[in-house]
């Protein structure tokens, strides 16, 4: 829940850049170093509009924003909050009588927010075939494949984007 709130605060900060946020760098900034470090997608200079998340590719760009970018704090908060919100919704949606439909079973102790974000970024880098699907679908796919529930009937690997 805390991560979701931080994500919302990150969105607000990105939408209303004030004295605390400098103007974004131009596209010719230090993106060459970022492209070498992250081979899956090119990383353009961020702006408040580039923190819009529609696809998993958008989320990847947000989660891997360099710390020298003026939108780094907003992007980091948004990334962690988005990921936590998708997981929270799945867990909430499968409470009570619907518990047998749960596809994500976190270990005890659950991973920290930082571990979870690092895991998601690593998973996105090694699964570029999912980068153009909706971001929430990709995040849920990451959690399902990383922390599956141990059921004999559990098999989840649809050929395309989740419906």
Task: Dihedral sign for Cα 131, 136, 137, 141, please.
Answer: positive
pLDDT at 129: 95
- Whether 156 is covered by a domain: the verdict is no
- Whether 159 is covered by a domain: the verdict is no
Report how many domains make up the chain: 1
pLDDT at 47: 52
- Whether 162 is covered by a domain: the verdict is no
- Whether 107 is covered by a domain: the verdict is yes
- Whether 93 is covered by a domain: the verdict is yes
Q: Is the predicted pLDDT of residue 78 greater than 90, yes or no?
A: yes
| Overall pTM surpassing 0.95 (yes/no) | no
Q: If you average pLDDT over every residue of the chain, what do you get?
A: 73
What average pLDDT does range 47-51 have in this prediction?
63
Cis peptide, bond prior to residue 65, ω within 30 of zero: no
- Whether 6 is covered by a domain: the verdict is yes
- Whether 115 is covered by a domain: the verdict is yes
What average pLDDT does range 61-90 have in this prediction?
94
Domain containing 29: what range?
2-146
- Whether 142 is covered by a domain: the verdict is yes
pLDDT at 93: 87
Between CA 130 and CA 152 the distance in angstroms is: 26
| In the block, residue with structure tokens 């970022």 | 34
């Amino acid at each position: 829940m805390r991560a979701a709130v931080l994500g919302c605060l990150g969105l607000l900060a990105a939408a209303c850049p004030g004295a605390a946020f400098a103007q974004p760098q131009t596209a010719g900034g230090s993106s060459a170093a970022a492209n070498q470090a992250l081979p899956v997608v090119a990383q353009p200079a961020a702006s408040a509009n580039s923190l819009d998340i529609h696809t998993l590719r958008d989320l990847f760009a947000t989660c891997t924003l360099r710390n020298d970018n003026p939108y780094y704090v907003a992007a980091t908060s948004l990334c962690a909050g988005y990921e936590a919100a998708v997981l929270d919704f799945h867990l909430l949606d499968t409470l009570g009588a619907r518990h047998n439909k749960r596809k994500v079973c976190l270990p005890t102790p659950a991973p920290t927010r930082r571990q979870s974000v690092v895991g998601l970024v690593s998973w996105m880098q090694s699964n570029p075939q999912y980068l153009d699907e909706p971001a929430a679908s990709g995040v849920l796919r990451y959690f399902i494949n990383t922390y599956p529930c141990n059921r004999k009937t559990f098999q989840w690997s649809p050929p395309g984007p989740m419906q």
